[in-house]
Amino acid sequence: MSRSAIVRSYLKAIELRKDVLGFYADDIVQEEFPNRLSPNGATRELADLKAAGEKGRDVMRSEIYEIVNLVEAGDTVAAEIIWRGVLAIAVQNLKPGDVMKARFAVFFEFEGEKIRRQRNYDCFEPF
């Protein structure tokens, strides 16, 4: 399976609220650069990603990842994504049922067929 296809499957699994831990290498490191929801950014390893995924299921009713562009070069896939999430809880000025929207640029570095490094640049629309 191509790495671009793995990224597509990974994002679809998130949308379907499936366990995505199997997509990651054991030594995964995900960096989220500062954004509106995470002003200081974050660095997560496997256990952190598991906890964040569980928390996310409580915060969001649903999520859609619209892939605008995927570029695969060697062990890296760059993804441009439009993300929409329906809130299950209130977040800042938004109430449950409201839709958050963002544009993501995500860089996935692979080791074999597993994601070893992930860097997220998340740009949320005003809310």
pLDDT in tens, 22-77: 999 999 999 999 999 999 999 999 999 999 888 888 999 999 999 999 999 999 99
pTM for the predicted model, two decimal places = 0.94
> How much of the chain, in percent, has pLDDT values that exceed 90?
94
Cα 94 from chain centroid?
A: 20
Domain residues of the chain, as ranges?
Answer: 3-124
Confidence of residue 98 (pLDDT cuts 50, 70, 90): very high
Mean residue pLDDT of the chain comes to 96
Q: Indicate the CATH number of 3-124 among 3.40.50.970, 3.10.450.50, 1.10.3720.10, 3.40.47.10.
A: 3.10.450.50
Contacts 24+ apart (CB under 8 A), 34-41: 35/121, 35/122, 35/123, 35/124, 36/124, 36/127, 37/91, 37/122, 37/124, 38/122
Residue 109 contacts residue 76 (beta carbons within 8 Å): yes
